[in-house]
Amino acid sequence: MARIGFVGLGNMGLPMARNLARAGHAVAGFDLDAARMQALGSGAASAAEAAAGADFIITMLPAGTHVRQAWLDGAAGTAQGLAAAARPDAVFIDCSTIEVAVAREVAAAVAQPMLDAPVSGGVMGAENATLTFMVGGTDDAFATARPILEAMGRTVVHCGASGAGQAAKACNNMLLAVSMIGTCEAFILAEKLGLSHQALFDVASKSSGQCWALTTYCPVPGPVPGSPANRDYQPGFAAALMLKDLGLAQAAAGEVGAVTPLGARALELYREFASLHGLTDFSGIIHQLRSNGSRPS
Ligand code: NAD
């Protein structure tokens, strides 16, 4: 059994913290929203109290600015952030989705070993402990933290040094956005050509066009009964979250001079879609792509 401080008990953090408690760990949670701590049932008075004495401290916060503040600045209720309140031998794990550069900055600023460990799998994955963790940090810190991550997820991949987890998340989600847009465009072209959705699915799902956006998350109703298209595009994975991740991918691309024209265009298209339909599943972008007004000029 480990003692774990868990900061950020939102849609993802609360079920993740619950799974750690179910696995037998002693979890002290903290969130700025008191109702979230009541929901966990083992709340701390402050982030510092959650961190004090813990073997592992985990953050699951909205964005890089919150992560930097929570660990370094004390905005989460401590004088100098979680890092100062923690034991010198504690292991730090940030599961938030943030900038590669901020993950590296915070890891370099703290004395304790720190892993960036963003996830995919969404709220369902968090509730069912089936998340995929993409982890950046040292071999030793990864080996120590692995059992903790396995209590919250099904797949845990050590991607490399600090920042590698966030890099993997940014690359994966950029690929997902581009493949979703491509899948939507193929269905739209098929509609215009008089080809049924099912016929395109039956061919492409067994051909070289096969991809996850088609076979698991099909953006038209029918071929994949469990996909959000069959429930009026209720998420799933909201367009606003995809927009955030594409912004992180483009920020990373800009910093290293990577040329990603489709990633850049995907960001523009999701910015347009999310401005009106941010809470809609990201596969709902097919509606926008169908409308003449949003076609690239
Ligand atoms: P959320 O907004 O539901 O939860 C964030 C929580 O952090 C809130 O409860 C908020 O009160 C709390 N918080 C903010 N600042 C704090 C601070 N300084 N101290 C303590 N608590 C603080 O967000 P979420 O959906 O749980 O997402 C968390 C992270 O996981 C994000 O980085 C997101 O991009 C990533 N993520 C989300 C999903 C998803 O499907 N929701 C999937 C994969 C990754």
Interval 96-129: pLDDT, tens: 999 999 999 999 999 999 999 999 998 989 999 9
Are residues 102 and 147 located together in one domain of the fold?
yes
Assess whether 244 carries a catalytic annotation. no
Contacts of 185 (CB under 8 A, 6+ apart): 289
221 and 149 within one domain: no
220 lies in the same domain as 287? yes
Q: Is residue 9 domain-shared with residue 134, that is, in the same domain? A: yes
- Cβ of 68 less than 6 Å from ligand 1: no
Using the atom order of ligand 1, give the atom closest to the CA of residue 7.
20
Q: Can you tell me the distance from the alpha carbon of 179 to that of 187, in angstroms, rounded to the nearest whole number?
A: 12
Q: What is the pLDDT of residue 81?
A: 86
Examine the domain organization and report whether 219 and 197 are in the same domain. Answer: yes
Token look-up 């989460």 returns: 76
Which protein residue's CA is at the shortest distance from atom 14 of ligand 1? 61
Q: At what angle do helices 164-193 and 239-256 cross, to 10 degrees?
A: 120
Distance 12 CA to ligand 1 centre (A): 6
Structural domain boundaries, residue 23: 3-161
pLDDT of residue 292: 58
Looking at the structure of the chain, the number of domains it has is 2
| pLDDT tens digits, 51-92 | 999 999 999 999 999 999 999 975 555 456 899 999 999 999
CA 96 – ligand 1 centroid, Å: 7
Distance CA 198, CA 58 (A): 44
Cα dihedral 173→179→185→190 (10° resolution)? -140
Asked, for residue 207, whether it belongs to a domain, the answer is yes
Residues 154 and 13 occupy one common structural domain: yes
Q: What is the pLDDT of residue 73?
A: 78
User: Could you tell me if 12 and 154 lie in one domain?
Assistant: yes
Alpha helices (H) along the chain:
13-22, 34-40, 47-51, 64-68, 82-85, 100-109, 122-128, 139-150, 164-193, 197-204, 212-215, 239-256, 261-277, 285-290
Residue closest by Cα to atom 30 of ligand 1: 96
Residue 181 Cα to chain centre, angstroms: 19
Using 50 as the pLDDT threshold, list the residues of the chain that sit under it. Answer: 78, 293-297
Do 32 and 132 sit in the same domain of this protein? yes
The predicted pLDDT at position 260 comes to 98
Whether ligand 1 lies within 6 angstroms of the CB of 78 is answered as no
